[in-house]
Amino acid sequence: MRRITLPVAALATVAMLVTVGVSRGASLRLPGSLPKFSHVVVIVMENREYPSIIGSSKAPYINSLAQRYASASSFYATTHSSLPNYLAMLSGQTFGLSTTCTTCHFNAPNLVDQLEGAGISWKAYMDGAPSACFTGATYGTTYAKKHNPFVYFDDITGNPARCAKVVPMTRLSTDLTNGALPTFAWITPDLCHDMHDCTVATGDQFLSTLVPPILDALGKNGVLFLTWDEGTTTAGCCTYATGGHIATIVAGPGARSGVTSSKAYDHYSILRTIEDAWGLARLANAACSCSAPMKDLIKTTLL
């Protein structure tokens, strides 16, 4: 076979074209890098250790997701109690909280700032909330502010346009029907549906109805992160995580199929994976090398 040698000028032209393609947003990515997600949905459940979910006969639907898509067998929550875990996933930090508060608030960078700065649409769906941007501590017997991290940030509650995007979960079915799922969506089930006050079986049944239409709406590179806020132990990893060993599943067209990773991950890993895929700066502890992006659970786009 004859070897073809390009002149230096031609090589320079090729290099220039590659550079131009990247600068114009072409999907040119190195092997093993994260693809640009078409959609991301995060669903946060409550207060269960890994063995009570994975392999449990009480959670057949969740286990079917873990078997079909990708799951992390060494994933750890950040801390106890609930609220700091939610804050960690949205801002990369816990603000030193080890308990739940309903009157505290924070003037700090968060994922919403990053999404809007990058022109990425978003919405947070709160099961049981009575209205958009509801800031009460509770509503009825099933809604709890402590599971809604969005209303703890001043630049969300103080901004009517942002506040209007933290909505009751009843809006989700309408958005799905209308093909209007935002590029980033967060879902907090109520205190029964999330397994906090009800059984694993109840939460599993809820997810078996909620998740399928979401998976259909994700697009070819979309992913759904299903995780828990905390476990019941102090098991941990990754420098910052001491909140228990929890199940975490990555599902959807952008997730790998039939994969279980034993690599250690924590809540900051979810945030970092989202940020890295969309080219966003890493917030606070999500920038730590101790909280790796979840690349081995995501389908990668080759050159």
Whether 25 is in a domain gets the answer: no
Note whether residue 245 is domain-resident. yes
- Per-residue model confidence (pLDDT) at position 31: 46
Residue 214 inside a domain? The answer is yes
In a domain, 239, yes or no: yes
**Number of folded domains that form the chain:** 1
Task: Round the average pLDDT of the chain to a whole number and report it.
Answer: 91
Residue 80 lies in a domain: yes
C-alpha–C-alpha distance, residues 47 and 197, integer Å: 10
SS3 123: strand
Assigned domain for 21 exists:
no
The CA-atom distances, in angstroms, between 133 and each of 75, 89, 159 are: 31, 19, 10
Distance CA 83, CA 62 (A): 24
| CB distance 155 to 218 below 8 Å | no
For the chain, give the percent of residues with pLDDT over 70. Answer: 88
Does 212 fall in a domain?
yes
Residues 105-138 have pLDDT tens digits of 999 999 999 999 999 999 999 999 999 999 999 9
Helix (H, G, I), strand (E, B) or coil at 54: coil
* H-only helix segments in 106-178: 111-117, 154-157, 160-163, 170-177
Decide if 302 is inside a domain. Answer: no
The per-residue pLDDT for 12 is 43
Nearest to 230 by CA among 51, 43, 48: 48
- Lowest-pLDDT range of 5-14, 213-222, 254-263: 5-14
pLDDT at 41 over 90: yes
State the virtual CA torsion across 88, 143, 199, 181 in degrees, nearest 10: -70
**Structural domain boundaries, residue 65:** 35-297
**Can you give the CATH number for the domain in which 109 is found?**
3.40.720.10
| C-alpha dist (Å) from residue 13 to 26, 41, 102, 193 | 17, 41, 59, 58
Q: Provide the pLDDT for residue 217.
A: 98
Of all helices (H) and strands (E), which one includes residue 74?
strand 70-76
Could you tell me the pTM of the whole model?
A: 0.90
Structure tokens at 291: 């909280």
Q: Please give the Cα distance from 254 to 290 (Å, whole number).
A: 24
- The pLDDT, as a whole number, for residue 300 is 84
Task: State whether residue 151 is helix, strand or coil.
Answer: helix
Cross-strand partners of 225: 42, 250
Under DSSP, the state recorded for 204 is: H
